[in-house]
Structure 1
Amino acid sequence: MGYECDYRFLLEPIHGKSGELQAWELLTRYVNDATINNDRHPERDTGFFSQLPADQKWQLFLHQVEKLIQLYQTGFRQVISVNVDRDIVDGIFKDAEIQEKLATLTLMRLELSAFFTARFSSADLLTLKGVSKITPAPLWLDHFGPGYSSLTMLDSGIFEIVKIDQQFFWQFGEERTFDILLDHLNQLCRGVIIEGVENQSQADLLAHRAIFGMQGHLWESVYLDDLAAQS
């Protein structure tokens, strides 16, 4: 497929308020990236993923699934989220073979960007509900923030976790409205993760907030292959 030559898979940790490791997010990086803790930008994450042709996205997703199967077979027992979009969700819904593989990945989560849900139709919502029923992998919503958030999607109750976009956190994290938002989101899902936690001051700001976890460059990421070798 060529993916192992061009890309490497990176695991970005998600920590709880007390510092405990809660989960990981699987990201894709170019092999020639200088560091594994580089700042996110469109070429590496959501933008990079969305710019791939549908068939390449699907092949990349299949490769990620195979990598996770191998990792979990070593005895690894921590939650890992994998980014998907409408093409991947539609593919899962139609592919019995991948459904069988996902059935073995009870600690995997499918993470859908709010960039995509903002344009989802009622038919797409039905597809998401269908996927949530045929696979054990709960759905997470990424990049929740102004301009990209679908309240219809949240009200559907299909998301286990909602991640608040880092720009939204940086702009409003110290305001009372941020706590009101957290209270509302916690009524619609099982927990909220705050993205963009870059330093201890930001982590301290969230110490008494109603959140499930925090994610950002305050914590060191690891390559999937390196973690697999240690398991």
Structure 2
Amino acid sequence: MGRKNDYLFFLEPVYANSGELLAWELLTRFADDADINNKRNPNRDAGFFSQLSADHKWQLFLHQVEKLIQLYHAGFKQVISVNVDRDIVAGIFKDAEVQQKLATLTLMRIEISAFFTARFSRADLLTLKGVAKVTPAPLWLDDFGPGYSNLTMLDSGIFEIVKIDKEFFWQFGEDRTFDILLDHLNQLCRGVIVEGVETQSQADLLAHKAIYGMQGYLWQSVYLNDLLAQS
């Protein structure tokens, strides 16, 4: 794995319509592409983890876990979701030591990309259910939208929160179809977070919709190390 200072961790906030801060998503960027000043970078959005080997991803996940243990032990009291993929899910399921560490992180959420469920199989469902049993962290589903979503997986009831893909929101957020989808998703999970909120007009559009929260570049992110330094 590369040097630890090759990348940076930061937290992107999730807000309710009321303005309440609900949670954070832990994101990772290469140090030379870590601008968090509300600037959307299409190249960056293509996916940090897609550029890494399976071993590198696993080592990075272990480092994220250690950072969160530090933060929560320092008294942090808010929910933080952490992105994982198939390789990391498999690693969690097999590694008892990691499971013990995750057991201490009761405010952590494991966020699984809908890319995982796009190739959903019974084995995948059993693996996810297994992870849900061996860790206290509820599962969240990321990137829900056309082409990468599987309602069968949602019907399993294993996801606490579903995040709607920003591209889907941008295209259909003003349509009745979007409201119908929200109603359906709310029957399958405990709440929906809409990603890709970059302007106040987009936030206003969601003000009276059946959502749990909103996330996007409209709100300022913070560096994880800055929070640790303040602890």
Deviation at 1:3, TM superposition (A): 4.3
Contact 1:9 1:26 in 2 (8 A): yes
Contact 1:46 1:113 in 2 (8 A): no
Contact 2:10 2:223 in 1 (8 A): yes
Which residue pairs with 2:137 in the alignment? 137
Q: Distance in 2 between matches of 1:100 and 1:10?
A: 24
Contact 1:28 1:45 in 2 (8 A): no
Q: Distance in 1 between matches of 2:95 and 2:45?
A: 25
Unaligned runs of 5+ in 2: none
Relative distance call for 1:59 and 1:20 in structure 2 (3 A) is same
TM-score of the superposed pair, with normalisation by structure 2: 0.96
Q: Distance in 2 between matches of 1:102 and 1:76?
A: 16
TM-score of the superposed pair, with normalisation by structure 1: 0.96
Q: Distance in 2 between matches of 1:35 and 1:144?
A: 25
Task: For residue 48 of structure 2, give the secondary structure of its aligned residue in structure 1.
Answer: helix
Task: For residue 109 of structure 2, give the secondary structure of its aligned residue in structure 1.
Answer: strand
Q: Deviations over 1:136-176 (max 9, x none)?
A: 00000000000000111101100000000011001111111
Letter aligned with residue 40 of structure 2: D
Q: Distance in 1 between matches of 2:77 and 2:110?
A: 17
Letter aligned with residue 124 of structure 2: D
Deviation at 1:117, TM superposition (A): 1.3
Relative distance call for 1:45 and 1:201 in structure 2 (3 A) is closer
Which residue pairs with 2:16 in the alignment? 16
Q: Distance in 1 between matches of 2:26 and 2:8?
A: 10
Letter aligned with residue 81 of structure 1: S
Deviation at 1:45, TM superposition (A): 5.2
Which residue pairs with 2:216 in the alignment? 216
Q: Distance in 2 between matches of 1:205 and 1:230?
A: 35
User: Is 2:74 aligned against 1:74?
Assistant: yes
Task: For residue 32 of structure 2, give the secondary structure of its aligned residue in structure 1.
Answer: coil
Deviation at 1:39, TM superposition (A): 1.4
Which residue pairs with 2:95 in the alignment? 95
Q: Distance in 2 between matches of 1:216 and 1:17?
A: 13
Deviation at 1:53, TM superposition (A): 1.1
Q: Distance in 2 between matches of 1:212 and 1:49?
A: 27
User: Is 2:107 aligned against 1:107?
Assistant: yes
Deviation at 1:95, TM superposition (A): 0.4
Which residue pairs with 1:38 in the alignment? 39
Relative distance call for 1:34 and 1:72 in structure 2 (3 A) is closer
Q: Deviations over 1:90-127 (max 9, x none)?
A: 10000000000000000000000011210132101100
Q: Distance in 1 between matches of 2:130 and 2:214?
A: 29
Q: Give the alignment of 1:1-231 within 5 angstroms.
A: 2-33=2-33, 35-36=35-36, 37-41=38-42, 43-44=43-44, 47-231=47-231
Unaligned runs of 5+ in 1: none
Relative distance call for 1:103 and 1:46 in structure 2 (3 A) is farther
Aligned residues: 230
Q: Distance in 1 between matches of 2:106 and 2:46?
A: 24
Contact 2:33 2:44 in 1 (8 A): no
Q: Deviations over 1:170-200 (max 9, x none)?
A: 1111111111100000000000000000111
Once the two structures are overlaid, the 10-residue window that deviates more, 123-132 or 32-41, is: 32-41
Q: CA RMSD in A?
A: 1.3
Deviation at 1:228, TM superposition (A): 1.7
Contact 1:92 1:98 in 2 (8 A): yes
Query: What percent identity do the matched residue pairs reach?
Result: 80
